[in-house]
Structure 1
Amino acid sequence: MAEKAKKMKLNYGKTALIGFGFMAVQIAWIIYNAYVPIILKENDTIANLSWASTAVGMIMVIDNVFGVVFQPLFGRFSDRTHTRFGKRTPYLMVGVPLCALLFIFIPRIQLLGILMLDIIVFNFIMSTWRSPVVAMMPDATPSELRGEGNAVINIMGGVGVVLGTVSGKIITFITKATDEHVIRNYVFLFGSIVMVICLLVVVFLVREPDSRLSKAEAATLAREFEKKKGSKDGKKSLGSMGLTKGEKKSLIFMLIALFFNSNATDSIQTYFTTFAKYELNFEESDASLIITLFAAATVIGAIPAGKLGQKFGRKKTIMSGWIGVLAFFLLYAVTKFQPLLYIAIVGGGILIAFVTINTLPLVLEIGGLDRVGTFTGYYYTATFSASIVGPVLVGAMFDLSKKISADGEINYWSLFFYAPACFALALLCMSQVKHGETNSIPEEIIEEIAQDE
């Protein structure tokens, strides 16, 4: 038993190296979301439109639409890819260099038509390799350790977020430039360079195993694993997903819960600065610093969240996170006691890590060993759908609060009631999830993973 426990210890070094792929994703999106709205607003064609802000908003959801449509598709493709470079790496080898090249030109293009072409192609290619890069960690990690592994991946992604956030400061320090357009050009170049470096780390240091060599054996082992897993729920499998009725129900409710969770967290991260400025009279820079604490707290909570999920179960850990953050936010909204704001933001960030670190492994466990890429795509479909629908719902809520308020002003406090409502709905959905906890993986599969390492 002790020998098996030793085998089941997470390889932190290898997992961190895999995390460089996710770092490439995160630095690209942080820079893209920070600068592209400004670039679009400054474009002469858009600036002259009477509905310029709406146009910018519509363009900015392209990445989320592509994520919903194409990420599950390419996740499925990568499951069925068998090359000497592995299942996932080929998508990075093609996608990352192309994205890095397109990324460089975004701040340099003046003609709207060419700029839109660049943005659309960039977003499409990004959607072709995000699911494969996220699936690399579960491929190399036993089911029992995926929560812990996901925490390491999120920390590496957090490094990408930090690099993207401070990229302007880095460029200013290195180049001594003061012109914002020059700084912006270098920021996108910096992001592209980091993306390529991350690719090189994954290709040369991770070295995904040759999937051609293990295709037949892996198929046999996967069938044995699925057969053993299916014996626990004797109901007939449904649809092309090959899930039992119980598993399909759990998957659907889990994805709906993820949708509500992303609605809540995205709304807080998107609108907190506006709330703090207009309701608390904070300076924008101070408000941005506070919401940065939320992201930092999520990173801090990542490793403990993985260990708690492993010890007490993923479902219990996820639900405790939602209960805690719901209580924090509601308490602050009801009392409006200022010190509680910082407790709610930091404590909420740590508790949200309980959710984000354990939900992906749970979804992947429902899918099974041979469909990691496919179910990674389903996971991101749920979260990206929330990113598309969420801004519309929150905007409607603010408009409604303006109409019903006595002074005709928007009540931004409604944000701290909207988020707990979403968390409560996520909890209700999660109560219906009955699958996805760690299964006992056959010894042969553990041996395969050990040999790959």
Structure 2
Amino acid sequence: MVFDENNQLPLNYFKIFNLGLGFMVVSMIWAAYNAYMPIFLGNFTKSNTLIGFVMSWDNIANLFILPVFGALSDNTRTSIGRRMPYILIGMPVAGILYAMLPLQTKLWALLIVDLMFNIVVASYRTPLVALMPDIVEEQHRSKANGVINFMGGLGALIIFFIGSQLYKLNKAYPFFLSGILSIIVPVILFLTIKEPKSFVIEERKEKQSIIKALITVVRDEDRAPFYTLLSIFMMIAGFAAVETFFTRYCKIALGIDESVSSFTMGFYALAFLIFALPAGFIASKIGKRKTMMIGAFGQAILFLIFMVVKDFRIIQILMPFAGIFNALFTINSYPLVVSYTSSEKIGTYTGLYYFFSSLAAIVTPSTFGAIMDYIGVNKLFLAASISVFISFVFLWLIGKRGEKPEIL
């Protein structure tokens, strides 16, 4: 394979598919974890507070560990690349710890294994994500990210449909499946994906630091990276609020059983999966920022409609559009963030992306829960719509400052 002048490879769908296998495994891991881990914890404790706290460990780990390992992988120089050492070591170890979760017979043992798992899985996630822009040219990253997100969605569906049947046979089987794949897939990645050689032999010009990068982004006169990160924060906050409280809202405000409203959210997930690939191709035609703006604006309008609609059937009909609008935004958000930096700092900017994403996921439940408590349950969609519209405004401000059209 011949490198271009930027030491990057042209789009290779075979490599992207193999990389997508890694994201498929990660998605399988979290789908089963979120579905069954509360049940495992409930076998030892009746404290919802403790269960909720333990289930937040992943977001806390994402907030602190992902950015650090993103910057660390930027500074890593080995004969097999910058990202691959973390993937080859972290992914199998995390898979083994993950497979051990359903086998624990004591609460303290389950908590220790879970804590170790959350730390290790966070250590390889940023290098895995940063590997995509390392091997894909800028103009192809949205399409590549569409493929990767499609594979991630496929992993969730595997757990929902196949994993649920395995769980009926033995509660450990879904965890064994993901654990085994966590050992096999890194080998596939190592054999099929070679990182650009320039990163292997290149001397470190300047050590990357996540703190330094954050300060630089905040203080930089070019506000585009900071506004983009704020846009991502507001979008995730708005949609995560709806995702968190949708079933509760439907039960209290509309009198809809939680099983029905939960099933309705499946239409969103399916639409997101189907539209993951088109979202990337649309961005390659009109630009990442404009595509994200369409997604944010459409989502804001949709939430306003949800607020005033009292017929649940209309919400069911419109729910797939939520998946489509979210795909337009989400598929292109990470490629837009890393487009602002050089190849040497991709891991660091990947860490910034996850820092803002994780922070939004952490503050959303309590903040929007308070809004529902003190202002009214029916204000959920209004607050979410305002949050998403602010996300749109930040993207609009980037255009007003005349940023580079080829990356927007």
Larger-gyration structure (1/2): 1
Do the aligned partners of 1:363 and 1:436 also contact (CA within 8 Å) in 2?
no
Aligned residue runs from structure 1 range 34-433, under 5 A: 34-43=35-44, 46-47=45-46, 52-171=47-166, 177=169, 183-210=170-197, 213-215=200-202, 241=216, 245-247=220-222, 249-401=223-375, 411=377, 413-433=378-398
Note the C-alpha offset of 1:429. Answer: 2.1
Q: After TM superposition, where is structure 1 displaced by more than 6 Å over at least 4 residues in a row?
A: 237-240
* Residues 436 and 264 (structure 1), Cα distance of their counterparts in 2 relative to 1, 3 Å cut: farther
Change (3 A) 1:168 1:15: closer
CA gap of 1:213–1:324, structure 2 versus 1, over 3 A, is closer
Q: Deviations along 1:428-448, whole A, 9 cap, x unmatched?
A: 2222335475369xxxxxxxx
Could you tell me how far apart the structure 2 residues matched to 1:340 and 1:200 are?
47
Q: If the length of structure 1 is used for normalisation, what is the TM-score?
A: 0.80
How far the C-alpha of 1:115 sits from its partner, in A, is: 1.7
Residue equivalent to 2:29: 28
Q: Contact between 1:82 and 1:211, CA under 8 Å: does it hold in 2?
A: no
The one-letter amino acid of 1:24's match is: V
Q: Please give the secondary structure, in 2, of the residue aligned with 1:432.
A: helix
Q: What is the percentage of aligned positions where both structures have the same residue? A: 30
Provide the residue aligned with 2:406 in structure 1: 438
1:379 CA displacement:
0.3
Deviations 1:147-205 (A, max 9, x none): 11111110111111112222443316xxx73xxxxx22222112212322322321222
In the alignment, residue 71 of structure 2 is paired with which amino acid? Answer: R
2: CA distance, partners of 1:128 / 1:417 = 37
**Structure 1 position 210, deviation (Å):** 4.9
Say which SS state the counterpart of residue 110 (structure 1) adopts.
coil
Give the distance between the partners of 1:202 and 1:18, measured in 2 at CA.
Answer: 7
Which residue type is aligned with residue 245 of structure 1? D
Letter in 2 for 1:189: F
The offset of 1:241, in angstroms, is 4.7
User: Which residue is 1:451 aligned to?
Assistant: none
CA distance in 2, matches of 1:239, 1:104: 36
2:209 match: none
Q: Give per-residue Cα distances to partners, 1:111-169, cap 9 Å, x unaligned.
A: 22222111111111111111100011111111111111111110111111112222443
Distance 1:168 1:27 in 2: 9
Distance in 2 (alpha carbons) for counterparts of 1:99 and 1:338: 41
Shift of 1:338: 3.5
Counterpart Cα distance in 1 of 2:224 and 2:277 = 26
* CA root-mean-square deviation: 2.7
- Structure 2: which 5+ residue stretches go unaligned? 207-211
**5+ long unaligned stretches in structure 1:** 178-182, 221-236, 403-410, 441-453
Q: Are the counterparts in 2 of residues 80 and 87 from structure 1 also a CA contact under 8 Å?
A: yes
Deviates more, 1:163-172 or 1:106-115: 163-172
CA contact (8 A) 1:277 1:283 kept: yes
Please state whether the residue corresponding to 1:119 is helix, strand or coil: helix
Q: For 1:238 and 1:77, how far apart are their aligned partners in 2?
A: 13
User: Quick check: 1:68–1:380 contact (8 Å CA) kept in 2?
Assistant: yes
Deviation at 1:350, TM superposition (A): 0.4
How many equivalent pairs are there?
Answer: 394
Deviation by residue 1:352-392 (Cα, 9 ceiling, x = unmatched) = 11111111111101122211111011001111111111111
Kindly indicate whether the alpha-carbon contact (under 8 Å) linking 1:267 and 1:419 is maintained by their aligned counterparts in 2: yes
Amino acid at match of 1:18: L
Q: 1:264 to 1:203 in 2, by over 3 A?
A: same
Deviates more, 1:265-274 or 1:130-139: 265-274
What amino acid is aligned across from residue 176 of structure 2 in structure 1?
L
Whole-Å Cα distance in 1 between the matches of residues 29 and 213 of structure 2?
38
